[in-house]
Chains A and B, each alone.
Chain A
Amino acid sequence: MKRLLVLGAGTAGTMAANRLRKRLADDEWTITVVDARSEHHYQPGYLFIPFGTYQPDDIVKPTAPLLADGIDFVIGDIDRVATDADTVVLSDGTRLGYDQLIIATGTHPRRDQTDGLDSDEYGSTVHDFYTLEGATALADKLAEWPGGRLVVNIVEMPIKCPVAPLEFMFLADAFFTDKQMRDKVELVYVTPLDGAFTKPVAAEHLGSMLDSRTIELECDFMTMEVDTERKMLVSYDEREVPYDLLVTVPVNMGADFVERSGLGDELNHVEVDKHTFLADGHDNVFALGDAANLPTSKAGSVAHYAVDVFIDNFVEHIAGRPMTGRFDGHANCFVESGNGKGLLLDFNYDVEPLPGKFPVPVVGPFSLLKETRANHLGKLGFRWIYWNMLLPGRPIPMKADMSMAGKQLQDVAP
């Protein structure tokens, strides 16, 4: 029997394991999935918890039932991958051998990387929303907060779901407006980027959405430390931004075992071929989803399209044939803009998000880069699709390659 080992039971790992179980013969391949916890979180749902739209129960399910029959599930912390011995070593000393390895252990917020974020003020005047615990604590905070200066800061790029902090701003604006206390709240968005977003056309649209909501934008701000005594963000070029309530998006890093195993870049993301996800220097180690150092967004949507390409490639690879699929970086994501509306972004490695209609040109039903009710409903509906179609590996009628049909080209330099 050959052994496929999948590290991580998040979006990418679960999808890959379930879809490969259908493609690999039971009497030829075992599939084992390893994860540190026994529950699966629908991570896009974290964003809605601080505003009371979702409760933790809405976005957490036990992992085991999400994995198809014929997949073994091991709960444990990973100590390292010994690539020279084709073995994964767990913290408790368990050794798991593999013929093929998929690393899908994601990327994670690391408050410990920035002075001040790991202080006693965490949970009091310093919060985050990229973990279930953080989002839940922030919900309690916002429910009773009397108002003041709310600052959202991105410490460093890349972060997973890079539009989520902007969505947080839009939802906060709507939340405080609903509570009839918007006049008591200053909203400030602090980013290391030179605009609201990374790509010019989307940055312009999203930037004007901040303007129209009277949300202050502080660009090119490289956070050096958070002075929790003076309640001040301090940048490397010695600018200061005061806050009453800080909602931070910490540095994101891949799992520490990636570094210990000599597979990572400076942020512990696995260095891979961006079209096939094969780890540099190995022919039986792949990395999928946020764990890989792909030059695109870290997001479940990217993982979904990437896995589409990966499955056929993997089957070719283990048969000793060249991998013929090439991932082009295509993905799309719904962006909540508050008040029951949302936007949709569609992009790949080379083409930035543009306005237009999706997936059917002119018709939609979704509008690219434009606030509509349909996009909001698309985002809320996606949670059902995630649990019931995406994770089990049922086909979704969207092709992996990006199409330019339906997009309006802009007069902006690439």
Chain B
Amino acid sequence: MSTTTTIAGHEVHVDDEGFMTEYDEWTEELAPELAAAIGISELTDDHWEAIRFLRADFAEQDETATLRRVAKIGGIPTKKLFGLFPKKPAKKMAYIAGLPKPHGCV
């Protein structure tokens, strides 16, 4: 199910959990508002490193990176990701980066 909503003045498509569904509708100016919506009030350089890795990786893989992938390919340790995006870093990073929720396998 996809509906539209307005984030930072832009109309964008989101799924029923609020994850953006169109890769190209995301811009960096949307990220702070998305982050604020899930309780992250400030995006530091460390946050941006993770978000930019996720965006670039998705463009290549057509799939949201797992924590292991962010650690191994992106070089950001998992423990650090839990510090930056508390409790559920995989989902929170994807949410802020405007990417689909990472899916588990069957």
Residues of A bordering B, CB below 8 Å = 156-158, 162, 193, 198-199, 220, 222, 224, 236-237, 265-267, 295-298, 345, 347, 352-353, 413
Contacts and interface: CB of A to CB of B under 8 A. Distances in A.
Contacts of B105: 157-158, 162, 198, 295-298
26 contacts: A156-B68, A157-B105, A162-B105, A193-B104, A198-B103, A198-B104, A198-B105, A198-B106, A220-B87, A220-B88, A222-B78, A224-B79, A236-B78, A237-B82, A237-B87, A265-B69, A266-B66, A266-B68, A266-B69, A266-B71, A267-B68, A295-B105, A297-B106, A298-B105, A345-B106, A413-B1
Interface in B18-61: none
B73 interface: yes
Contacts of B87: 220, 237
Given A158-B104, A266-B69, A296-B106, 15 more contacts: A162-B105, A162-B106, A198-B103, A198-B106, A199-B106, A220-B88, A222-B82, A224-B79, A266-B66, A266-B68, A266-B72, A266-B73, A295-B103, A295-B105, A353-B106
Contacts of A198: 103-106
A190 B63 CA distance: 26
B2 to A, nearest CB: 11
Interface residues of B, number: 20
Contacts, number: 48
Nearest to A202: B106
Given A297-B106, A347-B106, A413-B16, A236 B79 contact: yes
A157 B106 CA distance: 10
Contacts of A347: 106
A158 B63 CA distance: 15
A297 B79 CA distance: 27
Nearest to A163: B106
Interface in B80-106: 82, 86-88, 103-106
B106 A222 contact: no
B56 to A, nearest CB: 15
A301 B31 CA distance: 42
A236 to B, nearest CB: 4
Contacts of A267: 68
Nearest to B66: A266
A222 B79 CA distance: 10
A412 to B, nearest CB: 11
B67 interface: yes
A157 B88 contact: no
Nearest to B1: A413
Contacts of A296: 105-106
A413 B106 CA distance: 16
A60 to B, nearest CB: 28
B84 to A, nearest CB: 12
A325 to B, nearest CB: 21
Contacts of B63: 295
A266 B63 CA distance: 13
Q: 8 tightest A-B contacts by CB? A: A198-B104, A236-B82, A266-B72, A297-B106, A266-B69, A158-B105, A266-B68, A157-B104
